[in-house]
Structure 1
Amino acid sequence: MKLKVKSFLCLAAALFLFGAATCAAQSAIPKGLTDSTPNTAVLTAYDDWYAAEAKPNEAKIASKTIFTSPRCVVMLRDGGKGTLAKSHFHSTTDEIVVVMGGSGELLINGEWKQVKAGDVHINPRGNIHATRVAGSDDLKFVSIFTPVLPSGGDANFLTDGKAPVIPVGLSDSKPPTAVLANFQEWYKVNAKPEDPKIASQTIFTSPRVVVMLRDGGKGTLAKSHFHSTTDEIVIVMGGSGELLINGEWKQVKAGDVHVNPRGNVHATRVGADEDLQFVSIFTPALPAGGDANFLE
């Protein structure tokens, strides 16, 4: 009888300590961080959306918003054949475009550039840009606007035949001009697929956003943590791995789009067979010293 009582007391103590640790982890997350729609993390396969909702043969941009917060809006998009989005600039937001497939042309720093799958384009506020899809393919892409678009949008279209009037003081990014980088080209030179850590290169930063090209080598483990100031958008470009999303480990693959709101616990682990290739977008810019609050 004494043995049973002792065992019961040990079990109760263990459960108490586990509960205390769990509560401590939960209480470490400040209240009031949740202010997004949805208010939990998002995982969406771009290809699934494209198969169900894209309009590849219509000369317009089909779009679905999958996440919005005061810090950003994330859209899955498709520019159908013949699409033309005329020259314009944004006065409040930076726009990040990640090309998922197809082809098209973007007006970047005054020149039309052909884009393809794996291209990452960042257009700072105040920078004139445009889109045209003139070939036999449509243009598949993800758009992230940071911060969230104001009511009525933030596209300031230029008047034909008139010099553009862009307000002074909008340029505050590094670099101050638009960026076009190809993930696969970066991967060949910079990735460390055999190292169990995350290789990363920042290609753009402004007060509103940081954009990184990244590779999680085989065996990588980024422990459970949350961000207190930033939302993080992860777009998987290749390989495979697992992300802790809303308390469950989810296998991810090329084409997956994951949005993790501030205050939401998440983690990353990569198996021994394949590395995880991805783009990370933090909005707004990470504070000095970073914004990872680890729970263990």
Structure 2
Amino acid sequence: MRQNIMVLSIAVVGAFVAGIAVSPLAQHAISTAHAEQAPLAPAVIDLNTITHAMLPKTPYPELNSKTLVNTENATINLQSGNVNKHIHAKTDEIQYIIEGSGSMWVGGELKEFKPGTLIIIPKGTPHAGAVVANGPVKALAIKIPPQGKDDIAFVN
């Protein structure tokens, strides 16, 4: 009996020490995860000064993009370039054209755009740039809810 109590005491002390050792690592992992969706902070961003070359490259050869706002409800990215025709099954997308002009597929229609154009793309709607008349095209892309990494399917 006394031996069982001693083994239990050692196990409890060992668990306590392990908890203390792991705690900073766990706190760092949690804080890092929350840093990706930090609360909004006041900011002023001059979108006209940001060029295509200044934006990070993406896995899509013609598209550069930078996330400007990331919340649990939506994201806002500054995008420049193009992606082949695709859909987002779970995400609504709203694009506001800042710079450039041309036409893009929205559903089954080719629609013209220019600076100041607002393009509303409900989830499940095929969309893609088709012709750039004056570029590069730079747009704010608002995704509601934030687009998951698996929420893109390319279509013909």
TM-score above 0.5: yes
Structure 1 position 137 matched with structure 2 position 135? yes
**Matching residue of 1:49:** 50
| Partner in structure 2 of residue 146 of structure 1 | 144
Whether the aligned pair in 2 keeps the contact of 1:103 and 1:140 (CA below 8 Å) is no
Listed one character per residue, the Cα deviations across residues 95-133 of structure 1 (whole Å, up to 9, x for unaligned) are 000000111321123111121001000100111111134
> What residue is the counterpart of 1:63 in the other structure?
65
What amino acid sits opposite 1:123 in the alignment?
I
CA RMSD of aligned residues (A): 2.4
Corresponding position of 1:89 = 87
- Matched with 2:152 is 155
CA contact (8 A) 2:66 2:77 kept: yes
Shift of residue 38 of structure 1? 4.8
Provide closer, same or farther for how the CA distance between residues 96 and 76 of structure 1 changes in structure 2, counting only shifts above 3 A. Answer: same
CA positional deviation for 1:153: 4.1
**What's the CA shift for 1:141?**
0.7
Structure 1 distance, partners of 2:134, 2:53, is: 20
Which residue of structure 1 lines up, in the alignment, with residue 75 of structure 2?
Answer: 73
Q: Distance in 2 between matches of 1:37 and 1:104?
A: 36
Match of 1:255 in 2: none
Q: Secondary structure at the match of 1:135?
A: strand
Unaligned 5+ segments in structure 2 are: 1-35
Q: SS of the residue aligned with 2:50?
A: helix
Shift of 1:145: 0.3
Per-residue CA deviations over 1:57-84 (Å, capped at 9, x if unaligned) read xx611111011111011111111xxx4x
What's the secondary structure of 2:41's corresponding residue?
coil
Q: Tell me the equivalent position of 2:108.
A: 110
Counting only pairs closer than 5 Å after superposition, residues 23-34 of structure 1 correspond to structure 2 as: none
Per the TM alignment, residue 86 of structure 1 is displaced from its structure 2 partner at its CA by: 2.0
Select the structure that is richer in helix. 2
> Compared with structure 1, are the counterparts of its residues 142 and 153 closer, same or farther at alpha carbon in structure 2 (3 Å cutoff)?
farther
- Do the aligned residues in 2 keep the contact of 1:64 with 1:77 (CA within 8 Å)? yes
Number of residue pairs aligned between Structure 1 and Structure 2: 117
Letter in 2 for 1:156: A
Quote how far apart the aligned CAs of 1:89 are: 1.2
Contact 1:91 1:126 in 2 (8 A): yes
Equivalent positions of 1:182-193 (< 5 A) are none
Shift of the 43–52 alpha-carbon distance from structure 1 to 2, 3 Å rule, reads: farther
Counterpart-to-counterpart distance in 2, 1:141 and 1:128: 18
2:52 touches 2:80 (CA, 8 Å); kept in 1?
Answer: no
